């Protein structure tokens, strides 16, 4: 139950069907936010307090406008599988489709008068002149996305996507510190840390119109 002092935060999430999407939903719900996951299959997530699902393609500005209407902020995980409206089932969208999604997202948010956007993707290519061959986003496409964001009035933050682990759901992130499944402790801790960081970015309005990388201090130590 929310207490009277809890601010009403309504987050729209594109990319809920991914490990980071699960971590974000778990952390946002812990903070008593309302989370609206935009999905093609509205039954893909089990019902739980504070979580709703809505439809609407990420690649159509009018559908984006309808999906995000009334929200406080939008988080989009560009490299997530099963983005709503994508033609590539179970895998990340092709680079030009990611650029097309960002164009629709920017137009839809402006039409809905929503300014705050967290965009997560394979943007490490912007920092590295020699990206790994497996990078899902070529440098020129990442630059195209960055130019589109700079040209918009949105309060965006560009976040480098962390490595995920298929098969992780909200339940895994409800027991981050007590997971008994071998091999899950490190990815759960790492993804949970990114989810906490993204929620803090929204709460404190940090790094507006900037590109950020979340650093795993425990791994470095």
**Is position 95 within any domain?**
yes
**Is position 164 within any domain?**
yes
**Is position 163 within any domain?**
yes
> How many Å apart are CA 193 and CA 195, to the nearest integer?
5
**Is position 138 within any domain?**
yes
**Is position 110 within any domain?**
yes
The set of residues, in sequence order, having a beta carbon less than 8 Å from that of 182 and lying 6+ positions away, is: none
User: How many structural domains are present in the chain?
Assistant: 1
Give the model confidence (pLDDT) of 72-90 as tens digits: 999 999 999 989 999 877 7
> How many Å apart are CA 90 and CA 107, to the nearest integer?
26
Half-sphere exposure of 51 (CA within 13 A, CB side): 23
Tell me, what CATH number does 63's domain have?
3.40.50.720
Longest CA–CA span in the chain (Å) reads 51
**Is position 5 within any domain?**
no
pTM: 0.93
**Is position 1 within any domain?**
no
Give the model confidence (pLDDT) of 53-74 as tens digits: 999 999 999 999 999 999 999 9
Domain extent, residue 120, equals: 10-220
Give the model confidence (pLDDT) of 93-145 as tens digits: 999 999 999 999 999 999 999 999 999 999 999 988 776 666 679 999 999 99
Q: What is the pLDDT of residue 69?
A: 98
Burial of 197 (0-12, 13-18, 19+ CB in 10 A): middle
Give me the mean pLDDT over the 144-170 stretch.
Answer: 95
User: 30, 23, 31: which is closest to 193 by C-alpha?
Assistant: 23
């Amino acid at each position: 139950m929310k207490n009277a002092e809890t601010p009403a935060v309504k987050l729209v999430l594109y990319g809920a069907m991914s490990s980071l999407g699960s971590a974000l939903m778990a952390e946002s719900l812990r903070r008593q936010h309302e989370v609206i996951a935009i999905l093609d299959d509205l039954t893909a997530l089990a019902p739980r307090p504070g979580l709703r699902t809505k439809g609407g393609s990420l690649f159509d500005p009018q559908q984006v406008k309808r999906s995000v209407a009334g929200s406080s902020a939008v988080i989009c995980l560009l490299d997530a599988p099963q983005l709503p409206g994508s033609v590539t089932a179970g895998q990340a969208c092709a680079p030009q489709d990611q650029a097309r999604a960002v164009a629709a997202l920017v137009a839809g948010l402006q039409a809905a008068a929503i300014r705050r956007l967290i965009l997560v993707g394979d943007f490490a290519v912007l920092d590295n002149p020699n990206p790994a061959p497996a990078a899902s986003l070529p440098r020129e496409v990442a630059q195209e996305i960055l130019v589109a964001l700079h040209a918009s009035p949105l309060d965006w933050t560009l976040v480098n996507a962390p490595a995920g682990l298929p098969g992780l759901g909200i339940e895994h992130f409800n027991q981050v510190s007590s997971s008994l499944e071998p091999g899950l402790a490190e990815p759960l801790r790492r993804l949970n840390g990114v989810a906490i960081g993204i929620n803090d970015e929204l709460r404190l309005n940090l790094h507006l119109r900037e590109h950020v990388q979340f650093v795993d201090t425990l791994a470095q130590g």
